Structures are given as C-alpha cells and as structure tokens.
C-alpha cells in the first residue's frame, strides 16, 4: 500500500509539474525520497512555484480561475469547542467563556447533510 501511494504521489507531481518532471523520471526519483524540504529548497527543486501565505494562495487560485476577488468568498471553518473544552479550558487558558458561548454549546441542534456541490462557473 505504501508503494502504491508513493507511486500515486509521484504521478501527481509529474502531472502537476510537467515542465520539470514529465520527461525526467530520474530527477523526480532523486527528489522523491520522503525527505522534508524547506520552502527555499522546494522552490529551487521546482516542487512549488513560490513561497507565500494562505492569502497569496487564495489570490493565485482566483487568478487561475480568472475570477476577480469580488466574485468569490473564502470561508474558513474552525472546529467548534466541545463542552469539555470549555470546562477544561483547553481552547484558551485564562480566558472566560461568555454565557452566549456556553448556551450555544449546550443547546441541541439538528444537523443536515447537503450533497450539493457549489457550481463552478468557467469564463472564457
């Protein structure tokens, strides 16, 4: 299983980095050893385009989709605190939890699964 996953990993790299690795399996084999690279080494070896932050990646994804920033919205999901997290203060030691937060955590909720996928609009 590990070898199959490793082969799949290298296949994804070859497909995504065609200029560097599509016709140069030896170079990919030289790099793909399980070693962890620094960001600078990853750039130097053609594994990533450039070093940046999440905002840079979101902006680049918008550019690649040919969308203006006003045409998309980034949603970051954060794990909800459990009642035990609040009791044990593991989420933020020395901080008080508001009554509203405590009420929200102890109120029963109905959860629904939504199988729809947001539509992706292609522009030419």
Does the residue 30 lie in any domain?
Answer: yes
Does the residue 121 lie in any domain?
Answer: no
Does the residue 13 lie in any domain?
Answer: yes
Does the residue 108 lie in any domain?
Answer: no
Q: What percent of the chain has pLDDT over 70?
A: 73
28-69 pLDDT, tens per residue?
A: 888 888 889 999 999 998 888 899 999 999 999 999 999 998
The pLDDT confidence band at residue 119, using thresholds 50, 70 and 90, is low
Question: What whole-number distance in Å separates Cα of residue 87 and Cα of residue 91?
Answer: 10
Give the pair of three-digit tokens for residue 67: 């969308």
Number of domains in the chain: 1
Rounded to the nearest angstrom, the gap between the alpha carbon of residue 47 and the centroid of all alpha carbons in its chain is 16
Judge whether 91 and 79 are in contact, CB under 8 Å. no
The pLDDT, as a whole number, for residue 38 is 94
75-109 pLDDT, tens per residue?
A: 887 777 777 776 666 555 556 666 777 677 777 77
Does the residue 31 lie in any domain?
Answer: yes
Does the residue 18 lie in any domain?
Answer: yes
In the block, residue with structure tokens 């405590």: 102
Does the residue 96 lie in any domain?
Answer: no
pTM score, whole prediction: 0.50
Judge whether 48 and 42 are in contact, CB under 8 Å. yes
Size of the chain, expressed as the number of residues it contains: 124
Q: Which domain holds residue 10?
A: 2-35
Judge whether 60 and 54 are in contact, CB under 8 Å. no
The pLDDT, as a whole number, for residue 122 is 56
Does the residue 48 lie in any domain?
Answer: no
- For the chain, what is the mean pLDDT? 79
């Amino acid at each position: 299983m590990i070898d199959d996953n490793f082969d799949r990993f290298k296949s994804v790299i070859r497909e995504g980095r065609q200029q560097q690795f599509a016709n140069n399996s030896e170079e990919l084999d030289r790099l793909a050893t399980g070693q962890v690279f620094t960001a600078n080494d990853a750039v130097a070896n053609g594994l990533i385009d450039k070093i940046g932050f999440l905002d840079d990646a979101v902006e680049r994804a918008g550019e690649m989709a040919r969308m203006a920033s006003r045409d998309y919205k980034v949603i970051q999901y954060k794990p909800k605190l459990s009642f035990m997290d609040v009791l044990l203060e593991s989420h933020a030691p020395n901080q008080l939890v508001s009554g509203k937060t405590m009420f929200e955590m102890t109120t029963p909720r109905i959860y629904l699964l939504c199988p729809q996928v947001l539509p992706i609009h292609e522009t030419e």
